[in-house]
Amino acid sequence: MVKGPEADDCWLWTGAIADDGYGRFWTAGADGRQKIIRPQRYAYTAIVGRDLTPDVLILHRCDVPLCVHADLDSERSHLRPGDTSENMQDRARRGRHPRPSAALRFRDLPRAERARRSRDLRDAVLERGWDAAAIHGVLSGVNAEHPTLF
């Protein structure tokens, strides 16, 4: 994980990324079999100290699937628990549902494209560390080396 320098910056997961664009890691379950864990759920549970039942989702305030920035202060935390209904309401409120006017980042992108962007973001952070311009370029879908008009 790489933390941004500011208190409100994302903490970006740099491990494995699944085909949905979210991070994953594996551990041994109680039965000895492999168990897949989403790092944002793990971070929230570890930092906030609240166990999550399988029906509880973790919603991102920042809309960055690789962010694992959890905090006891709910105003500072990028993660919060919610249910499916809250997730759908949040999705609509933030314009992340498929529609012609959907904006940048991971909005209205096919699953494979979301995964590609997450992997590009991870790779940029691993290669450059916390580089705000490179991170912004990946999140907005603009190549950081692309020339500007002015």
Give bridge partners of residue 81 from the DSSP assignment: 58
Q: Which amino acid is at 43?
A: A
3-state secondary structure of 11: strand
Predicted pLDDT of residue 137: 87
Is 150 domain-assigned? no
Interval 57-82 mean pLDDT:
94
**pLDDT value for 92:** 77
**Residues 111-145: tens digit of each pLDDT:** 898 899 999 999 999 999 999 988 988 888 776 56
The confidence score (pLDDT) of residue 96 equals 62
Token pair in block for residue 73:
């202060």
The number of distinct structural domains making up the chain is 1
The answer to whether position 51 is within a domain reads yes
Average of pLDDT values for 16-24?
A: 95
Domain assignment present for 146: no
Give the domain range for residue 55: 2-140
Give the pLDDT confidence score for residue 30 in this predicted structure: 87
Share of the chain above pLDDT 70, in %: 85
pLDDT band, very low/low/confident/very high, at 100 (cuts 50, 70, 90): very low
Residue at 127 is within a domain:
yes
- Number of helices (H) and strands (E), helices first, in the chain? 4, 6
Cα–Cα distance list, 88 to 20, 42, 59, 93, 103 (Å): 17, 22, 10, 9, 17
Q: Is residue 98 part of a domain?
A: yes
Is 23 within the bounds of a domain?
yes
Angle between helices 111-128 and 132-140 (to 10 degrees): 170
Task: Assess if residue 145 is contained within a domain.
Answer: no
Please indicate, yes or no, if residue 34 is contained in any of the structural domains: yes
More confident residue, 150 or 16: 16
The predicted model gives 59-76 an average pLDDT of 94
The reported pLDDT for the residue numbered 40 is: 97
**What pLDDT digit, counting tens, does each position of 26-45 carry?**
999 889 999 999 999 999 99
pTM of the prediction? 0.82
